[in-house]
Structure 1
Amino acid sequence: MQFSKQQRLHVGERSHLCSHCDRVFSLKINLTRHMRIHTGEIPYQCNKCDKAFSLNSLLILHMRDHTEVTPYQCIHCDQSFSQRGHLTDHLRIHTLERPYRCSQCDKSFQAKYALIKHMSFHIKERQYRCRQCNKAFQLECNFTEHMKIHYVEKPYRCSQCVKSFKANNELIKHMRIHTGDKPYTCTQCNKSFTQNGTLTTHMRIHTGERPYQCSQCDKDFVQNCQLIQHMRTHTGEISYQCSWCNKEFSNKKLFKLHIKIHTEDSSYKCSHSDMEFSYNNNNSRHPRHLTQNQNKINESYKLNELKVEVKDEQM
């Protein structure tokens, strides 16, 4: 017997099964929406910026960011927000609440997406592993998409190194690294750059433009990567974990410097002592400490000599 749409809602029939996980749905449209989690499809595009969303309702909420209407006011400071969810996230700065707890360890986070990213550290085994670069994936669809990176034809080869490219214009841009050609010149200070995008970012130094605004506080930034780095101060997100000592970092540059401690030999030897360092900036700072300590010792000797002279005069 066939049930109507309304009848299926009452009897609880679930006939639409997801092929990627064990979720089932009573309505096909709900399955279609759910599948976007696995496929990464985001069909609802904002016409004001480059953001896109999997659901139309999320796009409608996002559009408030472009309207200057911010009805949700923080009771602790003068900030206001276009969405209730943004206000909820912001309030945790004041309350220090971290409601998203990891089920594998004792860590907790202010934002849900920070917890999701953290959980990837606990995944020890993944079903789909790339033989080219050893990267692993939980879902077959993500693995298949990744493999295109290795098997896409790249007929345009660099004559100076081993790199190759899909398009000729990409090769032309790359060749500027070898030739030193910098065709994009700043009209304000005569600095030149290999790519137009780098010049655009540089021009913001002169114009004062800082287009990347934090939704949690009043800070803004010249580059999107700076905003992403800053957002980790609000979410408590830890993106980089050392596999040798489990130390964690939110900054990629500091993480890479730390890894050198484990992977590199002590290449830099101090000329004043027997100490060795993994990278040269520590070595360059070390003699200053030696010099400062020696100065303190010399001052101490001079002070003691002065005290002896004063005692002799008094006697």
Structure 2
Amino acid sequence: KRVSCEFCGKVFNHTGDLNKHRRKHTGERPYPCPQCHKQFSHASNLIRHQKIHSGETPHQCPTCARRFSRKDKMVNHMKNSHRGTSIRVRKLKVSCEFCGKVFNHTGDLNKHRRRHTGEHPYPCPQCHKRFSHVSNLLRHQKIHSGETLHQCATCARKFSRKDKMVNHIKNSRSKKRKTRIRKLKVSCEFCGKVFNHTGDLNKHRRRHTGEHPYPCPQCHKRFSHASNLIRHQKIHSGETLHQCATCARTFSRKDNIVKHIE
């Protein structure tokens, strides 16, 4: 009587556990924050996120690890509880309330915290995609400007336009300047990975930009690749939801799998 994930085949005893697991594949985030409207896949993630708005326990005593909502409260605690310590107040650190990592400066903590909260405060003025750090936004904007899209296969120099790269190869004094134009490759401006075709580069680039150009016509969730959308649509159709624990055959309805087992 188990149910299995139609994306990866993992088997669960309860439909509720399957629903939670499925969000890893679908990207569904049914729990919105009432203050900033960010959405989360699990209620526990929302609860942790809300500590940011409440300011709960971002400051940790370096002696006893007790946490406080404000730095002055922690300082008073240290003065009253740890008088024998030689810790200087100006060197007190702040720690992440999610994973406990310690930082010297609140600014560094704020940047780190976005890994847990999913906050993306830097929008692209052209396509309105949002990023967690300014540096990520700057790299993303190179896509719109076309900067450094084409790379010379001989010397790795990058060019904004293919014709400029072709002229560079023709005029180069390199021994390998006879490289055939049809074999010229394009590279990812984020990680440097090289591709033979621009289409493959475009698909790969979505890992960096977060672009999801394929919307589901039923629930409007968006996906980075058409294949992901097709798999997602099986949820709406109910296709292959239930799996036989004996032979791994899948069924769209629970009564069908019951008959199969019997």
TM-score band, normalised by shorter chain: 0.3 to 0.5
TM-score (norm 1): 0.29
| Structure of greater relative contact order (alpha carbons < 8 Å, 6+ residues apart) | 2
- Normalising by structure 2, we get a TM-score of 0.35
